[in-house]
Amino acid sequence: MATGLRRGLTNYGDREFSAYLRRSFAKSMGYSDELLSRPIVGICHTPSGFNNCHRHFPEMLAAVKRGVLTAGGLPLEFPVVSLGEVFLNPTSLKFRNLMSIDVEEMIRAQPMDSVVLMGGCDKTVPAQMMGAISAGLPAIQLVGGPMMTGRYEGQRLGACTDCRRFWATFRSGGISEKEINAIEGNLATTSGTCAVMGTASTMACVAEALGLALPGSAAIPAVHADRLRCAEESGRLAMQLIGTELTPDRIINTKSVENALRVVLALSGSTNAIIHLAAIARRAGVTLSLERLNELSETTPVLVNLKPVGENYMEDFHAAGGLEGVLRELKTLLHLECMTVTGETLGERLERPLSQTIDRSVIRSSDNPIDPVGGLVALFGSLAPRGAILKRAAADPRLFEIEGRAVVFSSLEDLAARIDDPDLDIAPDDILVLQNAGPKSSAAMPEAGYLPIPKKLATLGVKDMVRISDARMSGTAYGTIVLHVTPEAATGGPLGLVRNGDRIRLSVSNRRLDLLVDDAELAARARNLKSPISTMCRGYSHLYQTHVLQADEGCDFDFLGPLPADDTVSVR
Ligand code: FES
Ligand code: MG
């Protein structure tokens, strides 16, 4: 039942006066009585001068408003924190929870009947989904869509896998400063999110797979006219959702989370998606288990040929059939009874005839996959008792079963100071270890897990080494990189006890990551351990460091768990 401006009137004193006051102030915006009597669709809007990925949002906003207005509602946008991935220091992840609180509280505090969540850049979509789950109002996620590729001397370029490729070539002396500068202006040339299957694209697909976004919407390029039609339709759908029980906290359950995990695995999606999905699930009272991730990974084929793992870009993925093509190939593996925001189940959606032929050079069929097993695995062992993540699809299989000597960097500062030191004692088959870059570190778990190959080895042609840390990695990066080691070094995890020269054994086939040092020696090291992490004593940094959970629980705040009401079951 639509409530329009009367929703959430103050509970103290004269409620009719409260409504009168609200109407009179709303009238100062020039709305007619007719418009003010309509249901209100809030539009959670995230443009920012510090967010290049959202620069087309004003046009998308106009399209959402069209949809709401034609369906008989009043669209009212409101701003929340916007997170532009590359402009945030020390890392955008630190502010995802802040944005999720902003989203939750502004949805709850303001008089809206449903909400369209407009996000795109890496952390914005998980933050919006987390906030909307906790707010419990009908909501639809609308993503900004990916950038188009640029060109440099006949080559297609896309942020930001190609940024890394060219920078690595520059570091090893393969291209000149003049060339790297010329390439700079061609890596990110349109509005929209990174052009590959990085974190933003993975989370757009997760939103659709969870059932929170329109079918077929995840991969539409930012500048494509279909993106505006999708925005208009999202506005219309937000009107239909008013008064229904199709709230995000009901749509998200154990089964829809498993569907999303299958999709991440089939896409060889971003490792960051595991953290975000754990946080999203937790808001809805669902635990994402890394053991379950491994089970699903054994039976989920990699189907898409997209960078950073493959060859193509997001615009190719959209043209090839987009997520629809992937979901159809995964059909026998998915929980088809899961409800979606359109009011149909995933199974009903997938029964509709396909509107295009799937391009099999980009989206493989399940009987001819790129890889018969999923792109990500969790590792457990004495070095990672609560797990670590490896994107095996982006790693070098020659490094999957190895034992090596640890070369340890105790902090980000130590890494920066010594990685390119010509006197660094390092060989190509050593294992690089970075400590104290996890959630509670002052850097708040930055994307530093992609440790650069030490310059003295890079110039010899070494392109990959095993790298282990409690940090994260950009979704657009690649390499044999073990991330999210939990518990992190700063909370006393065994990662903090590794010393130069220790032996470490990685076995991807056994899902193991072990530190080959005996328990008595580790206990002695633990007794003498002093964490180099400084305690953050004020403001949001203090709140963050005090309350952030470990990676396996999604790095959410401990006080932002599911709402107490036990109504998180499927609506059918
Ligand atoms: Fe926004 Fe990559 S920088 S999605
Ligand atoms: Mg990213």
Q: What does the pLDDT look like over 286-305, one tens digit per residue?
A: 999 999 999 999 999 999 99
Choice from 54, 87, 122 to test ligand 1 binding pocket (greatest atom count within 8 A of CB):
122
pLDDT digits (tens, 9 = 90+) for 316-340: 999 999 999 999 999 999 999 999 9
**Average pLDDT taken over every residue of the chain:** 95
Domain with CATH 3.50.30.80 in the chain: 377-534
Q: Say if CB 174 and CB 165 are below 8 A apart.
A: no
Share of the chain above pLDDT 90, in %: 88
Domain with CATH 3.40.50.2300 in the chain: 38-148+190-351
pLDDT digits (tens, 9 = 90+) for 136-172: 999 999 999 999 999 999 999 998 888 888 988 898 8
121 ligand 1 Cβ < 6 A: yes
Assess if CATH 3.40.50.2300 describes domain 38-148+190-351: yes
Rounded distance between C-alpha atoms, residue 81 and residue 50, angstroms:
11
473 ligand 1 Cβ < 6 A: no
Q: Say if CB 224 and CB 318 are below 8 A apart.
A: yes
C-alpha closest to that of 342 among 464, 511, 208: 208
3-state helix, strand, coil in the chain (%, to 5): 40, 15, 45
- pLDDT band for position 7 (cuts 50, 70, 90): confident
Nearest atom (ligand 1) to Cα of 53? 1
Residues across the chain: 572
Q: Say if CB 193 and CB 200 are below 8 A apart.
A: yes
Tell me what pLDDT residue 1 has.
Answer: 41
Rounded distance between C-alpha atoms, residue 395 and residue 479, angstroms:
5
Rounded distance between C-alpha atoms, residue 294 and residue 308, angstroms:
21
- pLDDT band for position 566 (cuts 50, 70, 90): low
Class (C level, CATH) for 377-534: alpha beta
Q: Say if CB 125 and CB 154 are below 8 A apart.
A: no
85 ligand 1 Cβ < 6 A: yes
User: Atom 2 of ligand 1 has which residue's CA nearest to it?
Assistant: 194
Choice from 48, 51, 53 to test ligand 1 binding pocket (greatest atom count within 8 A of CB):
53
Ligand with the closest atom to the CA of 191: 1
Q: Which two tokens stand for residue 366?
A: 């399940």
Q: Which residues of 484-537 form beta strands (DSSP E)? A: 503-507, 512-515
User: Atom 1 of ligand 1 has which residue's CA nearest to it?
Assistant: 121
Rounded distance between C-alpha atoms, residue 288 and residue 389, angstroms:
14
**Cβ contacts of 172 within 8 Å, gap of 6 or more:** 458, 459, 461
pLDDT digits (tens, 9 = 90+) for 219-263: 999 999 999 999 999 999 999 999 999 999 999 999 999 999 999
Q: Render the burial of 429-464: b for 16+ CB within 10 Å, e for the rest.
A: ebbbbbbbbbbbbbbbbbbbbbbbbbbebbeeebeb
Q: Give 531: exposed, middle or buried? Use CB within 10 Å, 0-12, 13-18, 19+.
A: middle
- Helix, strand or coil for residue 351? helix
Q: How many Å lie between the centroid of ligand 1 and the Cα of residue 87? A: 10
Q: Quickly list DSSP for 268-305.
A: T--THHHHHHHHHHHHTT----HHHHHHHHHT--B-B-
